[in-house]
Chain A
Amino acid sequence: MTKPFSERLVLLIGIFVAVLGSLFPFFWFVMTSLKSQIHVEAIPPTWWPDGSLTFYESVLFDRHVLTSMGNSLIVASSTTVIALLIATPAAYALARLRLSGKAWMLGGLLCVAMFPQLVIAGPIWQILKRLGGLNTHWGLVLPYVTLTLPLAVWILATFFKELPLELEEAARIDGCTAWQTLSKVMLPLAAPGLFTAAILTFIYAWNEFFFALLILTDPAKHTLPVGIALFQGEFTMPWGEIAAASVIATLPLIVLVLLFQRGIISGLSAGAVKG
């Protein structure tokens, strides 16, 4: 079925504006990162880069960006793994058990996800100080896990709820233990939900700035967002380098999303359509 031309035109313009609007800042950064210093500061600004890779060179070799990236990888992947290990059984229980007050628990989780960061920053800092977690990676992973758990539990619980109970009973009669039922039947079927929860958790931990700045003070332990922000000198704003580092920081996410794209799309739309 083809729509009339005028309708399609409106659609196309809409899509174009949306894509342009969200991609333009990124596009500008990519352009900037490929310029040389003279062009960056040129007035009026030049559009097209000269293809110089000097910013990349200086970012990669002088500015600890690789170290920060390693730190980010450690923090983001630990957060993802730990959050999912906790969220999966929790979501399964919330989806399956006939608990009284289940609605309250799910509601409470949602509230936790909505706390403004500033409100909990103080207590978290105090707790970490007591535990000796300040300026350590695990000290950062701990609040990240707490903050990402609610969303992960919600996504997974929605998935588990949609899987028919009969399937689980069939598995148990076929000889599965409770653990095998989860690992051999429920998890493979909830895979899109797992991917979605994992990616969203990973992106959150990868991008998070505020707690990373608060908890990590040693430059050798900084994650990427903080590392990049601290490029800023006392009197200068090294736009070119910031742009190059930002591009580098975004690449892993793009790769990740492209890899799991199909799983995520079916995951994000799963709640909407039964089937």
Chain B
Amino acid sequence: MAGLALQHVTKIFGRTTVLSDVSLEASDGEFVVVLGPSGCGKSTLLRVIAGLEPQTSGSVSIGKQIVDRLTPRDRDVAMVFQHYALYPHLTVRENLAFGLKMRKESPSVIETQIAEVAELLEIQSLLNAKPQELSGGQRQRVAIGRAIVRKPRLFLFDEPLSNLDARLRASMRVELKKLHRRLNVTMVYVTHDQIEAMTLGEKIVVMDHGTIQQIGTPDHVYHEPGNPFVAGFIGNPPMNLIEGIVKPAATHVEFHAGALTLHLRAQADVYAERGILGIRPEDVCLTRPGTNHLVLDGMIDVHENLGGDHLVYLEVHRHRLVARTTAETAKNIGQSVPVYVPEEKLHLFINHNRIPLKRHE
């Protein structure tokens, strides 16, 4: 078992830079989730780690060992692919045995290891079937089984749940989490689904266009997004973001965006410049909160009932704000309502960086 470290890894295909100066670390046994939109280079990142694709520059080490010159075979990693990639001409048992056979394990060892994994993943009854006879969920189990049967020192998952329906995805998420706890091996898990990232990851690496946007715990990237991209990508519905002009004053910070003017009772090291103000939908209140807050005039535009929660789309000084509320407060469309914004929940970004707001009472 071993951790993983990438140092300044860059990957260029022809003229397109797919990974640009990517550095990240996973400690021994950590579950790291790489989160980013489609096409941002997640699969390429995994393929570089596995040794399937050489990086243009930078280095990869597994454990304490630099593996840049090792073949995929010698890196001792396992990968679960997006489309399962089970060998169609082999039975499930042969699929599981394949990697062990290639590594010249003895038949008795192979037999016991397959039995162990089959029991763990509850696929004993499928061992003699061919992959095309299995359902999507069963194939996914076998693919995971093929990865863990070899006991590699690092697991790579490439969007393993994206082909499953919502229910199966939820239950596989739970199982993956259990599996990680049980095996206690370093895992790198790639996904574009922020729910998977939040629920599975001990550490989340947010990527966009081949560059790392932020690295942190799920709580950290959620509550203190490092830039507007992270703020907008994580969370559902995404954070409300309003572009405007930031002006520092002696005792407060002013924010102007068209018809909207806010006086934030806080200080920040800024000059007068363009900035983005953000607030999460669940922090926009329609009832007066206990903390320091700003009050705005809003008008209810659309109301969506999600069962437990309600989404209220508001028009506030010509800006669109989404509020997530529990109580069915004021659901008349077209009605004017006061909108409360707790000051400590506001996020300020200037030049794609988070600017801390130092509050003073």
Contact = CB atoms under 8 A, between A and B. Distances in A.
Contacts of B81: 166, 169-170
A185 B88 CA distance: 9
A117 interface: no
A122 interface: no
A140 B77 CA distance: 51
Nearest to B81: A166
A263 to B, nearest CB: 13
B237 to A, nearest CB: 34
Interface in B205-229: none
28 contacts: A166-B83, A166-B85, A167-B85, A167-B87, A169-B47, A169-B79, A169-B81, A169-B85, A170-B79, A170-B86, A170-B87, A170-B146, A171-B87, A171-B98, A172-B73, A173-B52, A173-B73, A173-B79, A173-B99, A174-B98, A174-B150, A175-B73, A175-B102, A176-B73, A180-B102, A185-B87, A188-B89, A189-B88
A164 interface: yes
A175 B79 contact: no
B99 A174 contact: yes
Contacts of A166: 81-83, 85
Interface residues of B, number: 23
A3 B79 CA distance: 50
Nearest to B80: A170
B34 interface: no
Nearest to B150: A174
A46 interface: no
Interface in B52-94: 52, 71-73, 77-79, 81-83, 85-89
B50 interface: yes
The 9 closest A-B pairs by CB, nearest first: A175-B102, A174-B99, A166-B85, A170-B85, A175-B73, A172-B72, A166-B81, A173-B72, A188-B89
A171 B77 CA distance: 12
Interface on chain A toward B: helix, strand, loop, or mixed SS?
helix
Contact residues on A (Cβ < 8 Å of other chain), bracket: 10 to 19
Interface in B96-123: 98-99, 102-103
Contacts of B73: 172-173, 175-177
Contacts of A173: 50, 52, 72-73, 77-79, 99
B102 A176 contact: yes
Contacts of B77: 173
B69 to A, nearest CB: 15
Contact of B85 (A164, A175, A177, A188): A164
A185 B83 CA distance: 16
Contacts of B102: 174-176, 180
A185 B86 CA distance: 11
Nearest to A178: B71
**Most B CB atoms within 10 A — which of A169, A173, A177, A180?**
A173
A44 B305 CA distance: 93
Contacts of B86: 170
B93 to A, nearest CB: 15
Contacts of B99: 173-175
Contacts of A171: 87, 98
A176 B99 CA distance: 8
B85 A189 contact: no
A268 B52 CA distance: 33
A132 to B, nearest CB: 45
A189 B89 contact: yes
A169 B48 CA distance: 12
B112 to A, nearest CB: 19
Nearest to A177: B73
A176 B102 CA distance: 7
Interface string A5-42: 00000000000000000000000000000000000000
Contacts of B71: 172
A107 to B, nearest CB: 23
Interface string A160-196: 0000101101111111110010000100110000000
